[in-house]
Each structure stands twice: as C-alpha cells, then as structure tokens.
A and B are shown apart, each in its own frame.
Chain A
C-alpha cells in the first residue's frame, strides 16, 4: 500500500517535471457560450420536470389531488421550457428571427426567409407567460390542496 501511494505520487511529478510544454493560464470563451449554457439550463429544467412527473406517478401520489396538480404544473413548465428553448434558438442561436419595436405601438418581426408563419410562431413564443404563469398557479393550487388534505387528515386524527 505504501509502495502504491509512492508510485501514484511519482506519476504526476514525472508529468510535471519530465514532460514540459506550453501552458495557457486562461481559456478564452466565445459569446455563444452564454446562450448555450442557458439552453442547457432549460433542457435540464425540462429533464427535472419530466423526472418529477414520472416519480409522482411511480410513487402512487396521483391519488392526491395536490400532487396531480403539481404534476400538471410540471407539464406546463415543460411546455414553457420548450417554448423558451425554441424562442432562444430562433433569436439568439441561429438568428433566424429578430424583433424591433416601432413607435406607433407595433413591432416588426423580421424573419430570415420572410416567412410569416415563422414570424407568427415567434410572436406566440414571445407570449411565454401564458404558460409559465398557469404552471406557477397550478403549483400554488397543488400546494393548497395538499395543505387542505393534510389539515383534514389531522382533523380526523
């Protein structure tokens, strides 16, 4: 054991001292890393919400209204994440769509191939609060139901 430890110490020492080369202190990051990180975050969010939905079902918690509502909330968050993911992909990653505010209360959506459909899709994607607010509301309702169930259970005891 003692010999093994000594051997393990000698390897990095040899690599450091015996094989010298150029070393760059800091790695340079491009601008796109931010949006990719953000998109990975959304994917992670989707993944965790999917896991949550399956776990709630797997544990048999769907018999409780509260947990069913939380499950539904997770579904809405998945949809919202999908929506946000798509919007960020279009405007920040491939720059297929851009939006510019006009002075008269209108905005101009410019699409790469002048597709109105893409423009309207993007317009719909920009209204993502229509998904995340219900998701949060469902989460609130789910918790409220759990509180009520819990209090009702304690009242029976």
Chain B
C-alpha cells in the first residue's frame, strides 16, 4: 500500500527536535527544583531522571535526524552502518532511564529519613534556642538578684551603726565600715597600710586570748564583751560577735565581726544601778536618822539642862553636848541626802549663785593659791527651780573636794563651766588634780564613803549633794577627764525664763 511519506518525515524530525528541547528544559527545571532544597533526595532523584531522559532524548533524536538526513540524501548504506550503533545507544539510554526510575523508592526512603532528621534537628534547635533564651533570662534574673543583694549587703555594711569588720585568717583588717572608722579613730587607709589587726584594738590581752580560744574552738563568738582601745587610747566597752567564713569559689578564709559600742549603755546601766542603790540607802538613812534624831534631842536637852547648874561634871557634859551636836549634824546630813525634809523652792539664777560661791571661796585660805576659772554660758540668765542655799552647798562641796585633789599641784585649777541644753542646763566642775580612781567611781555617791583619813571627812558631802540634785529633778555624774583630773557634771531642768519669780 502507498502512504504519504512526508508526514512521517516531518513528525520524525520535528518530534526529534522537540524531544531534545523538552528534555533539556526538563533538566533545567529539575536543577532549579534541586536548588530550592539541596537536601531533598526526591529532587535529586528528579535531576537524575531528567538527566537520563535528556541523554535518551538527545541520543534518540540525533539518531532519528541523522537517519532522515542520510536517507533523504540517498546515503542509505551509510545509515545501515550507523543504525546498529544508534540503536544500541538508544537502548542503553532508555535502560538507563528505567534503572534510574526504579530508584524512586530508595530516594523516597532517604528523603523521609532526611526530613525526619531535619524535623528532629529543628526541634532540637528550637529546644536549644528555648534553653538558651531561658538561660539568658535566668542569667539576667540572677544577675539582677545578685546586684540587688550586693547593693543591700553594701548598704548594710556601709550604713550600719555598728562596726562591721572583715579580717583575713590572721585577723588583719581587710574591710571596715564607716562606723568602724569612727569607733577606732583611725583612717581606713592607715589601718590597711599599717596592717592593723583586731588584736591591736583589744585593750586587755586576756580578752583577746579568750576571743581567740572561742574562735578556734567554736569558729564563732557571740556577744563577747571587752574593752576596745581607740586611737586616743581610750577604752570603750564593746560587744563583739563574729565568725569564720570559708569563702566560696576559691576565696580565702576570712573572719567577719560585728562590734557594738555599748559604752553608753553600760554607763547608763551603772548610773541606774547607782541611783537605785542610793535610793535604797536614802530610805535606810531616813529611817535611821528619824529614829536617832529624837533620842539625840532628849540627850542634848538633858545635857544642856544639867549644864545650867554648876557641877563637877561640867567638862564631861560639854563633851557630851559637842558630840551630840555632831551626831545631830550627821543625822541632818542624812536627812538631806534622803530628802525627807522640805525646803522652799524658788527660781534660782545659777550664774549669780556661782559668782557668789566663787567670791566666797576666793577669800578662803585654802583657795588662795588655786586658780578658779569661771566659764559661764553666754546665753541669757539660766534659772532653775530650786533652793539656792542647797545648790550653793552642792557647788561648795564639789569645789572643796576639787581643792583637796589639786593641793599638791602648783598649777592646779578649778573650772566652773555652764552650758545650756534645750530644756536643761549643765554645770561642770573640773579640776586637774589626781582624779578619781576607777574603782571608786561606782561608790563615790554612797553615804559614808570617803578616801580621806578617819576624822577628816564624814563621807556624806557627795551623797548629800546627790540627794539635793535628785530633789531638784536633776542628775549628778562623776568622771575622770581625758587629760588629767576629775569632772563633776550637774544637769538641772531650766525654768521658763519669762517668769521672773525670785
């Protein structure tokens, strides 16, 4: 049968060209696809299969075009020679495509594994990110807490009213707060440069030994009281609490101490105890004086009656009268101390009263060689509600005691100083004499306590003075001066200056 040949040729050649173009485009697209996700094994598979199709398409099309060309140019023999090779290449190429195609399943499995691994990796990555963020947040949070804590600790350290001290293992000062600097009286740099230690401030060696022993045994001390020596060599009563700190992160062992200044508290306690003791003594004295006063009055009355008539016992009776009078004087003083008696209370101008005392004493033989300084407050006249005679008696008594204390000192002086303190006034009686022995200070206002030889003092002067000042709602204290000598301070409440009642 006869058929048109041209359609076959046209379709063959154009089809061959189309195959070449399309297979190349497939390759191009597969490569683009692969570039979108390099890890996708399926896309890699499509690249392979497209490449296979491209080899198949190009080789087959080349054979077809060549065949048509050779046949059309009547080179059929040549084609017969090449045909076998062309066919073989064609066979190999589509077998290659077939082989690649069969790898789909494997590629799929690999891709699934890759996807699964990628998901796991992404999940792990997210977890890591989350952990990292959490860690960052925690670090920030902890840093803020640490900063806040450090700030609080620093404020406590710097602004504490008690001394806070950090020392090394050998008790050498490493850090000290402002309260500590004030307590010791040294500058911080000075303490660090001179390598000063806690032991340098403990006044008495046995106290330090005790502290050391406690620290070695218990690694801590709690409320240990001792005398603390400041830069002026003044002893201050302190209470020490401390312990060892072995440190963290490789820090060296240190000791931390809190030193509390209890000097004023102790003094206050002593004063309260003294006041209580003197109050009890006052009660006792008042009772005794009251009981003795009446019999003494009877004895004196009868003695004086008997003296009106001359008798051989006149001298003896005079001796009795003299001693009874002495006894009555003592009893009177005891009553003054206990303040059981009543006195007239008026507004007293203290400065005027002090001038009167000084003027009186300057004429006294014992005070001729004594320098008396009168440093009165520049304020308006200071008035207190009281009995001028009694207050004069107290000042006189203190001046006489001061005079006795400086009698061996050619440069001895007595100073009378007044000071105004809001609603109170202070009268200081200072001297540069021998001072008061430390052990006598707690007993100095006790009735009948005296350091003078027997017969030279009754030991009632200061106790009477104490009673008078207490009766005036005031306080009297005794202390040794820093330089030399003693100082008595009287604290009295001021009256309203607008009332000029004398």
Contacts and interface: CB of A to CB of B under 8 A. Distances in A.
Q: Which 10 residue pairs spanning A and B have beta carbons closest together?
A: A129-B15, A48-B98, A143-B29, A48-B101, A107-B5, A136-B22, A119-B1, A41-B91, A150-B36, A44-B98
Given A107-B8, A132-B19, A48 B108 contact: no
Interface string A14-39: 00000000000000000000100110
A59 B5 contact: no
Contact of A140 (B11, B25, B104): B25
A55 B46 CA distance: 14
Interface residues of B, number: 46
A144 B29 contact: yes
A119 B11 contact: no
A146 B43 CA distance: 9
A136 B23 contact: yes
26 contacts: A34-B87, A38-B87, A41-B91, A51-B101, A51-B102, A52-B101, A55-B104, A101-B5, A102-B5, A105-B6, A107-B2, A107-B4, A108-B2, A116-B1, A123-B3, A127-B7, A129-B11, A129-B15, A130-B15, A137-B18, A139-B26, A140-B25, A143-B30, A147-B33, A147-B36, A151-B36
A109 interface: yes
Contact of B18 (A45, A52, A108, A133): A133
Given A108-B1, A127-B11, 17 more contacts: A38-B87, A41-B92, A41-B98, A45-B95, A48-B97, A48-B98, A49-B101, A102-B5, A106-B4, A107-B8, A119-B1, A120-B1, A129-B11, A129-B18, A132-B19, A143-B50, A147-B33
B445 interface: no
A41 B4 CA distance: 30
B95 A129 contact: no
B94 interface: yes
Given A38-B87, A52-B101, A140-B25, A105 B5 contact: yes
Contacts of A44: 95, 98
Given A102-B5, A116-B1, A140-B26, A133 B15 contact: yes
A62 interface: no
Interface string A108-127: 11110000100110010011
Contact of B98 (A37, A47, A146): A47
Interface in B91-144: 91-92, 94-95, 97-99, 101-102, 104-105, 108
Interface string B14-49: 111011001101100110110011000000001000
B214 to A, nearest CB: 72
A156 interface: no
Interface centre among B1, B6, B33, B87 (most CB of A within 10 A): B1
Given A44-B95, A55-B105, A143-B30, A106 B15 contact: no
B367 interface: no
A37 B104 contact: no
Nearest to B98: A48
Nearest to A44: B98
A42 interface: yes
B147 to A, nearest CB: 41
B18 to A, nearest CB: 5
Interface string A51-64: 11001000100000
Nearest to A151: B36
A41 B1 contact: no
Interface of B: 1-8, 11-12, 14-16, 18-19, 22-23, 25-26, 29-30, 32-33, 36-37, 46, 50, 53, 57, 71, 84, 87-88, 90-92, 94-95, 97-99, 101-102, 104-105, 108
B19 A133 contact: yes
Interface of A: 34, 37-38, 41-42, 44-45, 47-49, 51-52, 55, 59, 101-102, 105-111, 116, 119-120, 123, 126-127, 129-130, 132-133, 136-137, 139-140, 143-144, 146-147, 150-151, 154
Contacts of B14: 129
B95 A41 contact: yes
B91 A37 contact: yes
A157 B398 CA distance: 101
Contacts of A48: 97-99, 101-102
A45 B108 contact: no
Contacts of B95: 41, 44-45
Nearest to A37: B91
Contacts of A52: 101, 104
A7 B489 CA distance: 128
B4 A146 contact: no
A42 B94 CA distance: 8
A51 B104 contact: yes
Contact of A143 (B5, B26, B91, B97): B26
B267 to A, nearest CB: 83
